[in-house]
Amino acid sequence: MDKNKQYKAVFFDLGGTLRIALMDEPYMKHARRKMAEIAGTDLPYEAFYQLVEERYEPYRKWALGENKESGDEELWCKWLLPDYDQARIKQVCHELSFQYRQTKGRRVVVDGGVEVIKGLRQRGYKLGIISNLIGENEVPDWLEEDGLDQYFDSVILSSVCHLRKPCAEIYQLACADLGVAPEDCVSVADNVKRDLAGAIEAGIGANILFESPEKKHPVVFTEENRPDAVIQDFRQILDLLP
């Protein structure tokens, strides 16, 4: 990674990078119960959750194959609960997305995350988020609740722009949102296949791979997706970006 280059902006991935999911079973169980409650199902909550999981698989296959993402209303009305009361589902679709994500874990900012965000901002970098995830409201609400919204100039979510990484377009959209050329930006992410390929294709100037505590297998690189730097501690970003 060229430490002599003056980069202007840093984009963060969320899941497995800036935010880590903790396997908190009581928390996750509460979310499964909440999903069933707000959907108004007659099924036991665990059976309802399994129904959603089964229907999520073809949606996920479509999303990954097309590099697209549905908004909350389309996700729940078209893909996951088309046979439920549509007026009700439209009304609660945002909360359904939020609770469904909570069934996968309780999300917290990675160790050193806030320190890095504040440190980079103090150094004059523009900051952005580029994330693949369902749910249109969770991230803006979290940023506001944690007082982090003031540090980010751009938040690009696949559920809002309907594009998914690794497509280069989502990076180009984020760069345009910041008014910074791709070659002047740095990407920080944890997924080689999903995050690095699109960033490299979009011409992002430098790519930092975070060896996330969520990853259970060693990372294998090819010449096409080799990052410019690999870090194990999130705070190492401050050493790489003066």
Tens digit of pLDDT for each residue in 79-138?
Answer: 999 999 999 999 999 999 999 999 999 999 999 999 999 999 999 999 999 999 999 999
How high is the pLDDT of residue 241? Answer: 95
Q: Angle at CA 153, nearest 5°, toward 178 and 184?
A: 40
**DSSP assignment of 23-67:** --HHHHHHHHHHHHHHHT-SS-HHHHHHHHHHHHHHHHHHHHHHT
Look at residue 222 and tell me whether its pLDDT is greater than 80: no
The tens digit of pLDDT for each residue in 19-70 reads 999 999 999 999 999 999 999 999 999 999 999 999 999 999 999 999 999 9
pLDDT of residue 85: 98
- Residue 7 CA, chain-centre distance (Å), reads 23
| Partners of residue 157 on adjacent β-strands | 131
For residues 200-213, give the mean pLDDT.
95
Q: What angle do CA 116, 118, 122 make, to 5 degrees?
A: 115
Residue 216's pLDDT is 66
Per-residue model confidence (pLDDT) at position 215: 74
Of 121, 172, 180, 123, nearest in space to 149 by CA: 121
Average pLDDT, the chain: 95
